[in-house]
Amino acid sequence: MPKHLSPLPDGVRETVEELRGRLGLFSFRNHAETAGAAVLEAESPELGIRAGGIVEWLVAKPGAGAVTCALQTMSRSASGDGVWAFVDWAWQCYPPALSGWGISPSQTLLIRPASRLEVSWAVEQCLRCPGVAVTWAWIDQRIPARVHRRWQLAAETGGGTGVFFRPESARREPVWADLRLLITPRSGGQSEARQVEIDVLYRQGGLGGTTQVWEIDHAAGVVRLVPELVDPAIAE
């Protein structure tokens, strides 16, 4: 490293990695259907979410790949007539990257609340609107039970799907979503591919308990399910 350049502080380094991960979405352009959505849908039914329901993606580390994985599971919804509403208090959304998943600008509604107080109201209004197919939000604060309940009722009324990204610390809060997932980056993958572990913490009707490993291959523009390895001791 040149003498005039100093190492990046930890906070800046994490931000750079997060931006790099988001820019990687461009490599998925026009791969929304060929990326294996049907295969993942067939092999991962526990990650499915009903219309009028809510799914929470808990993120263990910034840049973990939750956005890419969520887009993979929701990409088939992009072919419908409904709007994708992004409640983007934290300025996490970059609309041009969404076109690679079949989400056209005419389907996109970008909402940037002026304060955290406006986030819950904006989310509720989007969920309640029958013209919104997907309400997508980054939520970094604790959500009171009454707000969760209002969101739940709003989703049932509007008939769309709520997709919320939250920090891992939210797992200590009661579950109001139909599905709660924890995504954690893990070592593995080759070249531009990276692997993430997805734990089903809760699904409607009971606790989760299942774990999957997905590989995000930016070079090929695909997301694939990593097969489970058979324990040699069991195989014998």
Per DSSP, the three-state class of 71 is: helix
Q: How many beta carbons lie within 10 A of that of residue 81, not counting itself? A: 7
First to last CA, the chain: 51
Q: Where are the domains of the chain?
A: 10-235
Distance CA 196, CA 208 (A): 18
Burial class (CB in 10 A: 0-12, 13-18, 19+), 94: middle
Q: What is the pTM of this model?
A: 0.74
What pLDDT score was predicted for residue 4? 40
Q: How many beta carbons lie within 10 A of that of residue 28, not counting itself? A: 24
Q: Digits of tens for pLDDT over the chain (236 positions)?
A: 434 434 445 544 444 445 444 444 444 434 444 344 444 454 455 566 678 899 999 998 777 788 888 887 776 555 567 899 999 887 777 777 777 777 788 888 999 998 888 999 999 999 999 999 999 998 888 889 999 999 999 999 999 999 999 999 998 998 889 889 999 988 765 666 788 888 889 888 777 677 888 888 776 667 777 876 544 444 44
What pLDDT score was predicted for residue 2? 38
Decide: 158 and 132 in contact? Cβ < 8 Å: yes
Tokens at residue 76, please?
């088939």
Tell me the CB-side half-sphere exposure of residue 16, using CA atoms within 13 A.
7
What pLDDT score was predicted for residue 50? 72
Q: What CATH architecture does domain 10-235 belong to? A: 3-Layer(aba) Sandwich (3.40)
Specify the DSSP class assigned to residue 227. P
Decide: 137 and 33 in contact? Cβ < 8 Å: no
Tokens at residue 133, please?
């197919």
Per DSSP, the three-state class of 115 is: coil
What residue has token string 């005419």?
A: 106
Decide: 215 and 223 in contact? Cβ < 8 Å: yes
| Beta strands 193-203 and 179-186, pairing class | antiparallel
